[in-house]
Structure 1
Amino acid sequence: MIRIENLSKSFGQKKVLDCIDIEFNNGKVYGIVGENGVGKTTLFRCISGLETYEGNISSDVDNLKDTLGFLATEPFFFSKITGKEYIRFLVNARQVKLTNIEDKNIFDLPLNQYISTYSTGMKKKLALTAILLQENKVFVLDEPFNGVDIQSNLLITEIIKKLRELGKTAIISSHIFSTLAETCDEIFLMKSGRILKKVDRKDFADLEAEMKEFSIGNQIAKLELK
């Protein structure tokens, strides 16, 4: 369980997160949606212990950061490291014993190649594989489906469902609403650094319609396409 109370974050004079109160329970998958720049990534970085903030983040574990796997939109990699070395590095950081890495290479990545030779999608799949093998209790996934091929997206969807089965907590952002609708138990709508509302699964269709109306409206008509 993760409880966030009165969480705020500013960069200079710009307030990015504004008094957020939210709770994430074990064995559930949560989606965070909103336009670019509303604060989703900053919220994820605060939860993951990568940003300072005002307010409080508490959990039912002694040190949340040590049991949390964070998948960034653009994961960072050292230039001269292979895929296999990267996985071993992250797994060793959690003191998890790992054998037969090749058997766990479900995305069929070239693990003996330098990561600098990987495509954007391959890098994301490598980073996801590594945090999964860390045996984390909480997963914060920032745009896990972005830049990844459709077959891998299907696999990632099933992985997220498995995490729920195992009693893990997963928090996801995505611009592909259908992936959230298929995996999430609840979705939170963010705007201007605040959580506007929480939506249960039974109301996902209404939320999608609302977001389409807000985002699209009469914008296409303005183009006067012929």
Structure 2
Amino acid sequence: MINIQSLCKSYGKHKVLYNINLIFKKGEVNGIVGENGAGKSTLFKCMAGLESFEGSIAYTGNILKNVTGYLPTELFFFSKMTGYEYLQLLCNARDIKEKNLYTSNIFDLPLNEYAENYSTGMKKKLALTGLLIQKNEVFILDEPFNGVDIHSNIIIQEIILKLKELKKIVVMSSHIFSTLNQSCDHLHYLKDGTIKSSVIKGEFELIENEMKGSSIGNKLVELMD
């Protein structure tokens, strides 16, 4: 279980996250939604150990950052590194002895080509493959469906459901409510750096309607009325 208590994050005088309190349990998928700039990626970076913060993040088990697979929205690959070498690097980082990385190539990627030349969707699939090979306990997926084709979208959905079955902790963000409905057990609405509401599966429409209520469409109506 991950227990986030009173988490706050600032960049200088600019406060990004305010008093975040969340609990993520094994075998559950939690979705974080919010407009761009709400603080979703910053929260994920704090959980992944990439940002300092105030408050606490407690994890039952190992050191959280050592068992967490983080898929960011902006991916980076070293120049002149093949897809195969990238996967090998991630294995080495966790001291994992993977005998044949080609059998782990579930997306049928061209592993002998340079990863920097992959398309956006291919890069995302390569990074996700690496996280799976690492056998992480926690998966933080920031917009995992962005930039991938329909077939890959279906595979990623299947992966998330399998991770849930394996009692992993999955925290993800998405702007596509249909994917959240299919994958998530809980949904949390992050707005202006705070959790405005949290609901269970079957109540996601409440947050969707809440987000629509503050959408640009309503602001345009007020402007033109």
Give the TM-score normalised by the residue count of structure 1.
0.94
1:189 aligns with 2:189: yes
Contact 2:40 2:173 in 1 (8 A): yes
- Say which SS state the counterpart of residue 50 (structure 2) adopts: coil
After superposition, where does 1:67-82 map in structure 2 within 5 Å? 67-82=67-82
After superposition, where does 1:151-190 map in structure 2 within 5 Å? 151-190=151-190
Q: How far apart, CA to CA, are the structure 1 residues paired with 2:39 and 2:64?
A: 21
- Say which SS state the counterpart of residue 66 (structure 2) adopts: helix
- Deviation track 1:108-130 (CA, whole Å, cap 9, x = no partner) reads 11100011211111111100000
Q: How far apart, CA to CA, are the structure 2 residues paired with 1:220 and 1:178?
A: 25
Residue aligning to 1:206? 206
Q: Is there any run of 5+ residues in structure 2 with no aligned partner, and where?
A: none
User: What's the % identity of the aligned pairs?
Assistant: 56
Residue aligning to 1:93? 93
**Cα distance, 1:92 vs structure 2:** 1.7
Contact 1:16 1:39 in 2 (8 A): yes
1:64 aligns with 2:64: yes
Q: Is there any run of 5+ residues in structure 1 with no aligned partner, and where?
A: none
- Say which SS state the counterpart of residue 10 (structure 2) adopts: strand
Contact 1:4 1:23 in 2 (8 A): yes
**Cα distance, 1:101 vs structure 2:** 1.7
- Say which SS state the counterpart of residue 32 (structure 2) adopts: strand
**Cα distance, 1:222 vs structure 2:** 7.8
- Say which SS state the counterpart of residue 99 (structure 1) adopts: coil
Change over 3 Å in CA distance of 1:223–1:98 after alignment to 2: farther
Contact 1:74 1:124 in 2 (8 A): no
**Cα distance, 1:91 vs structure 2:** 1.3
Q: How far apart, CA to CA, are the structure 1 residues paired with 2:128 and 2:207?
A: 28
For 2:125, give the aligned amino acid.
Answer: K
Residue aligning to 2:110? 110
Contact 1:46 1:53 in 2 (8 A): yes
After superposition, where does 1:12-31 map in structure 2 within 5 Å? 12-31=12-31
- Deviation track 1:14-47 (CA, whole Å, cap 9, x = no partner) reads 1001111111011100000000001000000000
